[in-house]
Structure 1
């Protein structure tokens, strides 16, 4: 299946933009002595709602449609469902092998006062490595979604970008307060964020010789499963942890609403 170079470049640019949002998290840390917990909770839930909505309403449907082109509607639905469950299983395995730590983001946390700088720096680097590992499937998701349909890929990239900002904070806080070096903390965030376009390039290079409706169906189904799992396992629990009122549910509903409206506009 031949794909125009322009489409590839657009998909890669969108994926890179979403990944670089990780760096914004570090800027947020540098600008404030203490992150705004309520805003963070709303943003996490917003991203979670957007991810769940686009995964179940668009990406999973893309999987079923792609499979249906070669196997008919009945088998297409079945294969799409199996691919979705495979995606859930895959990210569960990744999460088991490389747990994604969610350190407290408050800079006055006793953790930062009671441990030495070397240990805090190590925690920051381990956090960066874990988040980087989780960014590979996110980059693949954004890239293939944009490649197939920018109307789906752009909203997904927006949701992932929001999700990446608090990840940048989680990386920058321990690194910055251990080293007192803004460039070092910002660089750690950027490296983690660049895992998304790298994951997209590697994934596309591996799958390119076999691109077909069945491959697209498999990729989209797996992506949908991965995104739903990440939203339910990471984003929403983290949002609830930092909320002080109804920020989680407001963010969840707002994320779904904004994503739904954006998809409606893209279809006009």
Structure 2
């Protein structure tokens, strides 16, 4: 059991590699920010639709043919979206887009006013990126809790596949760390805050293992885990479409966002094939 827990800790700890990549260098360019956010959106969208949702449907169906399991998974998927949408509404927006646009359209009164608007734009972007990083961290932590429990069970019940499974999960945790570290570092200017917040999302995996073993074991029998996986897929899709991609597009690096989005999907496709 100790070995299985340590392997789960190792898989979750790989998030810190992505966090380190996100805070390296003297600054975060618009292209790097766009690439990091686009890559992360691709990872989250692909894993949601190609792994979590189908796996949830399979568990809910109990391996039997029919549409009941799929219907329950779809319902859980949209429940997940609804929950994260409520959380999103409770987090105040960084700035009203219409109010900010009006300030920009009216800024024809000289260099000082333009400079003031540029500073306001920078503050608004930083606030938006901090919010994006925090919500992304929440979504990834929610994703990593059941993933950590699943990793622990796999390592415990099938030791012969533990190492490749953990390696594959660690590999796809790297861009997750990048997803949190890049916007938080850009928003706060603090490498330490960005690194530790991103690392903490990965540590949700061993926490998930402990919670699963001590508290949730009896509750995760039958279809409960399937509903959780499908719900987490909904959370990740919402975050990708509502937070990651809009923030990436605001950098003005549209093609970088698209290329990174596809690259993130390709990375997840390869890691899931290995898994």
Give 3-state SS (helix, strand or coil) of 2:6's partner.
Answer: helix
* TM-score for the superposition, normalised by structure 2: 0.70
1:136 correspondence with 2:138: yes
Q: How does 1:33-182 map to 2 (within 5 A)?
A: 35-69=28-62, 73-99=66-92, 101=94, 131-132=133-134, 134-148=136-150, 150=165, 153-173=169-189
- Could you tell me whether the CA contact under 8 Å between 1:26 and 1:172 is conserved in 2? no
Give 3-state SS (helix, strand or coil) of 2:250's partner.
Answer: helix
**Over aligned residues, Cα RMSD in angstroms?**
3.6
Instruction: Pick which of 234-243 and 47-56 moved more.
Output: 234-243
Change in Cα spacing, 1:112 to 1:138, as seen in structure 2 (3 Å) is: farther
* 1:140-196 CA-partner distances (Å, limit 9, x unpaired): 3134235435477445423312312312323432xxxxxxxxxxx344334423542
Residue 220 (structure 1) shift = 0.6
1:221 to 224, 230, 236: 230
* 1:81-126 CA-partner distances (Å, limit 9, x unpaired): 1111111111111111124759xxxxxx9579968xxxx8xx9899
* TM-score for the superposition, normalised by structure 1: 0.71
Give 3-state SS (helix, strand or coil) of 1:213's partner.
Answer: coil
- Could you tell me whether the CA contact under 8 Å between 1:45 and 1:248 is conserved in 2? yes
1:236 correspondence with 2:249: no
Change in Cα spacing, 1:249 to 1:136, as seen in structure 2 (3 Å) is: closer
> 2:202 & 2:240 partners in 1: Cα distance?
20
1:254 to 238, 258, 263: 263
Give 3-state SS (helix, strand or coil) of 2:253's partner.
Answer: coil
> 1:76 & 1:155 partners in 2: Cα distance?
30
1:188 to 175, 193, 197: 193
Change in Cα spacing, 1:198 to 1:155, as seen in structure 2 (3 Å) is: closer
1:7 to 4, 19, 28: 4
> What residue is the counterpart of 1:182 in the other structure?
none
Residue 8 (structure 1) shift = 3.6
Give 3-state SS (helix, strand or coil) of 1:159's partner.
Answer: helix
- Could you tell me whether the CA contact under 8 Å between 1:129 and 1:192 is conserved in 2? no
Unaligned runs of 5+ in 2: 96-113, 152-164
Residue 206 (structure 1) shift = 5.3
* 1:216-238 CA-partner distances (Å, limit 9, x unpaired): 11221111111111111111112
> 1:206 & 1:256 partners in 2: Cα distance?
34
Change in Cα spacing, 1:206 to 1:170, as seen in structure 2 (3 Å) is: farther
